[in-house]
Amino acid sequence: MGEKIRILLVDDHDVVRDGLQALLGAQPDFEVVGAARSGEEALALLQEVTPDVILMDITMDGMDGLEATRRVQACCPGARVLALTIHEGQDYFFAMLKAGAAGYVPKRAASEDLIHAIRAVAAGDIYLHHSVAGVLVQDFLHGHEPQLDENEIALQKLTDREREVLILIGEGLRNQDIAERLGISPKTVSRHRENILRKLNLQTRADLIRYALETGLID
């Protein structure tokens, strides 16, 4: 037998992680190399393990699966993200694909489908479960992608670091606090803030906080 497919599990429910570990650990060509409760934990684990496939939930406490997927693509492009989620709507589906996911499987899918999906994305293929693939087909037949509102379009102009700074501003942190949290200088935070204001066509810190709330970056 060749090398096993190394898998990292990312889900904030203990029962789900335990169930996945039991299911996948029983496959002779799989090896679960780690499990995380959030995007932050997953990124920390990536300093220690090198998975081939990351099973990524979307809605989690702390950093969600969308942001975690973006960061995985930036730091570990060799790892393939496979979304495993309760969400089957096109908003989440297209958002995860745009973030860099190589596949999308609903949690209600059969175990055999998940196992096949892992093997497919590990081999370099794209896997879309039949329950969501139809969304992509219909979108293609209609010749358009889902329309994004102006806030979402503007948000895509930000770098990952600028998004981090915006989220922390939205949570009410001041420049010094943000600098300490991110390990950068207050001057660098100020520069990021000015870039964010310019890209989003906003004027004040209050505008940034309101924007972060309206776009769902913070609760």
pLDDT in tens, 90-143: 778 888 888 889 999 999 989 999 999 999 999 999 888 887 766 665 655 555
- Note the pLDDT of residue 207: 84
DSSP the chain: --PPEEEEEE-S-HHHHHHHHHHHHTSTTEEEEEEESSHHHHHHHTTT---SEEEE-SS-SSS-HHHHHHHHHHH-TTSEEEEEES--SHHHHHHHHHHT-SEEEETTS-HHHHHHHHHHHHTT--EE-HHHHHHHHHHHHTT-PPPPPHHHHHHTTS-HHHHHHHHHHHTT--HHHHHHHHTS-HHHHHHHHHHHHHHHT--SHHHHHHHHHHTTS--
CATH of 5-141, one of 3.30.70.20, 3.40.50.720, 3.90.1300.10, 3.40.50.2300: 3.40.50.2300
157 pLDDT band, cuts 50/70/90, is: confident
Name the phi and psi angles at 111, rounded to 5: -55, -40
The answer on pLDDT for 148 being more than 80 is: no
- Note the pLDDT of residue 59: 87
pLDDT in tens, 36-94: 999 999 999 999 999 999 999 998 888 889 999 999 988 888 899 999 988 877 778 88
Q: Residue type at 120?
A: A
The answer on pLDDT for 204 being more than 60 is: yes
Whether the full predicted model's pTM is greater than 0.75, yes or no, is no
Dihedral of the CA atoms 138, 141, 145, 146 (nearest 10)?
Answer: -40
Domain 150-214 is found in CATH 3.30.365.10: no
CA distance 37 to 81: 16
The answer on pLDDT for 146 being more than 70 is: no
CATH 1.10.10.10 residue ranges of the chain are 150-214
Q: Is 141 left (phi over 0), alpha (psi -120 to 50) or beta?
A: alpha
The answer on pLDDT for 1 being more than 60 is: no
180 to 3, 165, 177, 185: CA distances (angstroms): 41, 12, 5, 8
CATH 3.40.50.2300 residue ranges of the chain are 5-141
CA distance 219 to 216: 6
